[in-house]
């Protein structure tokens, strides 16, 4: 399954601007880690009047991470530090002509690196280490904190757990933090005067026709399940739907994985029940 990238994104991926290191940088911000799959180091050269004269980056990540980092450096050069500080992840994504939903976390990483570099320029550090709740790790697979999740929900108006995964990567690994993510989501929405939203709230309200069920199963596989499996080199194909039994075939690395049964039960089946119907069962076809 391929990603639907814009021509601007492809250009910044194939021909990234401002790659490298500034030896005498006035501000350096580093976020992510190789262990988590994405890492970005941003270097800023700032003149006496507070204008960013140069910006360079080094990144380890996918095409979206490279494109987002490249675009970010182009956007902030020539701006004052205060002006650059207002650049958000949505602005980075918009400048690229949009990013696939599952790749929005790359634009968030760019915003976080910029904040860290500006904080370094001011002799400060980014974080809330003094607050145990805010600095607590929610997703141990990707090292995502409570505050990162909460902030992503507020700034991007996220409304379900899959949105949180798209913007932060939290919940994209073993899935065990999904309940914690839902609790944070409910907490933020409640604080804003909104009713909690669950992933299957819409599907539970009105029974689906057979055609609607088939379309929604395929859509969920294409937009939610397949992208998550692809991150680990795997894939999935819809074989058939017999009543409430969804027959699928795992491909790639997932086909020979020793924990494929766990993937089927604790991820594929769970996602289909959340997004389509709690009555669904999944059967793997070899």
What residues are annotated to the active site? 36, 106
The residues, ordered by sequence, that sit 6+ positions from 72 with a Cβ below 8 Å of its Cβ are 42, 55, 57, 87, 92, 110, 113, 114
The residues, ordered by sequence, that sit 6+ positions from 128 with a Cβ below 8 Å of its Cβ are 134, 135, 147
Question: Is the distance from CB of 220 to CB of 272 less than 8 angstroms?
Answer: yes
Distance CA 63, CA 73 (A): 16
Question: Is the distance from CB of 86 to CB of 15 less than 8 angstroms?
Answer: no
Residue 3 CA, chain-centre distance (Å), reads 14
Residues constituting the chain: 286
Distance CA 118, CA 22 (A): 15
The 8-class DSSP code of residue 49 comes to T
Strands (E), 143-280: 144-145, 234-242, 245-252
């Amino acid at each position: 399954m391929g990603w639907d990238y814009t021509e601007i994104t492809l250009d910044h991926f194939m021909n990234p601007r401002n790659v490298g290191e500034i030896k005498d940088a006035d501000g350096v911000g580093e976020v992510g880690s190789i262990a988590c799959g994405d890492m970005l180091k941003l270097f800023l050269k700032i003149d006496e009047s507070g204008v960013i004269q140069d910006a360079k980056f080094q990144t380890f990540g996918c095409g979206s991470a490279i494109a987002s980092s490249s675009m970010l450096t182009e956007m902030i050069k020539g701006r004052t530090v205060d002006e650059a500080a207002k650049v958000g992840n949505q602005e980075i994504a918009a400048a690229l002509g949009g990013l696939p939903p599952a790749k929005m976390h790359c634009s968030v990483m760019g915003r976080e690196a910029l904040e860290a570099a500006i904080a370094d320029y001011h002799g400060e550090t980014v974080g809330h280490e003094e607050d145990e709740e805010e600095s607590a790790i929610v997703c141990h697979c990707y090292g995502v904190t409570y505050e990162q999740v909460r902030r992503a929900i507020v700034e991007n108006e996220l409304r379900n757990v899959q949105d949180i995964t798209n913007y932060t990567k939290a919940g994209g690994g073993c899935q065990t933090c999904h309940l914690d993510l839902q609790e944070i989501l409910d907490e933020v929405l409640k604080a804003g005067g909104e009713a909690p939203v669950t992933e299957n709230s819409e599907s539970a309200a009105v029974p689906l026709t057979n055609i609607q069920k088939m379309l929604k199963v395929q859509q969920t596989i294409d937009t939610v399940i397949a992208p998550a499996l692809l991150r680990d080199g795997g894939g999935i194909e819809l074989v058939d739907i017999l009543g409430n039994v969804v027959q699928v075939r795992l491909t790639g690395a997932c086909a020979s994985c020793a924990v494929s049964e766990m993937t089927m039960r604790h991820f594929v089946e769970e996602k289909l029940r959340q997004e389509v119907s709690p009555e669904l069962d999944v059967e793997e076809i070899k």
